Amino acid sequence: MDKFSKIYIAGHRGMVGSAIWRALENKGYTNLIGQSSKELDLRNQQAVLNFFDKEKPEVVIDAAARVGGILANNDFPYQFLMENMQIQNNLIDSSLQADCQKFIFLGSSCIYPKLAPQPLKEEYLLTASLEPTNEWYAIAKITGVKACEAIRKQFGKDYISLMPTNLYGSYDNFDLKTSHVLPAMIRKFHEAKQSTGKGKQSTVTLWGSGTPMREFLHVDDMADAVVFALENQFQDNLYNVGTGTDLTIKELAELIQKIVGHQGEIIWDSSKPDGTPRKLMDVSKMTQAGWKAKIGLEEGIKSTYQWFLQNEDSFKEVKM
């Protein structure tokens, strides 16, 4: 890949997109372009076509999506389905029409069936029903994977899909109404720690039973995987990206509690849904291709908490 190639990163201001931008800059790529959602509405087909006609990117990385946790997926099913399909369809089709030779589509491990064998292999896609709590987002992402596969098959272009496990890191979403489990825990434990003086610290209530198992990948590792995919030719169209190890939500909570320094009680609200029992990625295909994650979970959470502390003022206006 030429360091002067024009690379368009859709969603470059989000957690994933900004990490990819930093990773590419660090490797010497100098012709990066991005547009904020105010500058370019990716749901608008004509606006996206006009942008591609004007900028003529050679490579497109799709890190743009409407994202959120169980609560957000449950409250806004239509938006999670339709807006994500609009965004990715416009980007994929515009890339094809503009004759972009390389397209990297970022999805999610939620595309796999709820009760698929563990760890999750790429071949399990579309073999059984999805997890109901995020099926709207999953269905949208599956259509993106299949669109890239169809272009690869019909037109012979290097369009690939990377399916990350649960991501976290700098610039994560810490809004308790829409955030994922790890950043939500960081904020809850931090605010419980801050809410009491010298007396007993406030309790923290968390959703579910704490028994589901989850895998977490630092966003800087994800960005490194994208750069690796950019600089190499992959044989297949779909690759899982993760660490290949997981832990229970209870273990995650206790680790975050220790890092934050909260000493109060944890209460598990079992009336709330757990989601998929386990969601561990089989990352053997990426390993065989030559890429592995480098950042350990404790190290990653510590750096994420430090970023949270440095930016805490920007979250105060969105408390529950």
**Three-state secondary structure along 207-251?**
ECCCCCEECEEEHHHHHHHHHHHHHCCCCCCEEEECCCCCEEHHH
pLDDT of residue 316: 64
Annotated binding-site residue? 262: no
State whether residue 175 is helix, strand or coil. Answer: coil
Radius of gyration of the chain (CA): 20
Annotated binding-site residue? 162: no
- Whether residue 254 is contained in a domain is answered as no
- Whether residue 16 is contained in a domain is answered as yes
Q: Which one-letter DSSP state was computed for residue 312?
A: G
| Measured distance CA(281)–CA(91) in Å, rounded | 27
Annotated binding-site residue? 156: no
Domain of 55, CATH number, reads 3.40.50.720
Annotated binding-site residue? 36: no
CB 89 within 8 A of CB 103: no
DSSP run (H or E) holding 105: strand 102-106
Annotated binding-site residue? 188: yes
Q: What angle do CA 81, 83, 85 make, to 5 degrees?
A: 70
- Whether residue 307 is contained in a domain is answered as no
Q: What does each C-alpha distance from 284 to 78, 196, 271, 276, 293 come to in angstroms?
A: 34, 46, 36, 22, 12
* Domain extent at residue 47: 7-169+215-245+279-294
| Measured distance CA(89)–CA(93) in Å, rounded | 6
Give the tokens for residue 176: 């308790």
Annotated binding-site residue? 22: no
- Whether residue 144 is contained in a domain is answered as yes
Annotated binding-site residue? 13: yes
For the chain, the domain total comes to 1
Q: Splitting the chain (320 residues) into consecutive groups of 10 residues, what average pLDDT does each group show? A: 94 96 97 96 98 97 86 85 97 97 94 93 96 90 98 97 96 86 95 76 92 96 98 96 97 98 94 85 98 98 97 65
Annotated binding-site residue? 68: no
Q: Which residues are catalytic?
A: 137
- Whether residue 186 is contained in a domain is answered as no
CB 63 within 8 A of CB 9: yes
Residue 44, Cα to own-chain centre: how many angstroms? 23
- Whether residue 208 is contained in a domain is answered as no
Annotated binding-site residue? 207: yes
- Whether residue 110 is contained in a domain is answered as yes
**φ/ψ (deg, to 5) at 282:** -85, 115
- Whether residue 83 is contained in a domain is answered as yes
Q: If you search the block for the tokens 């990715």, which residue do you land on? A: 88
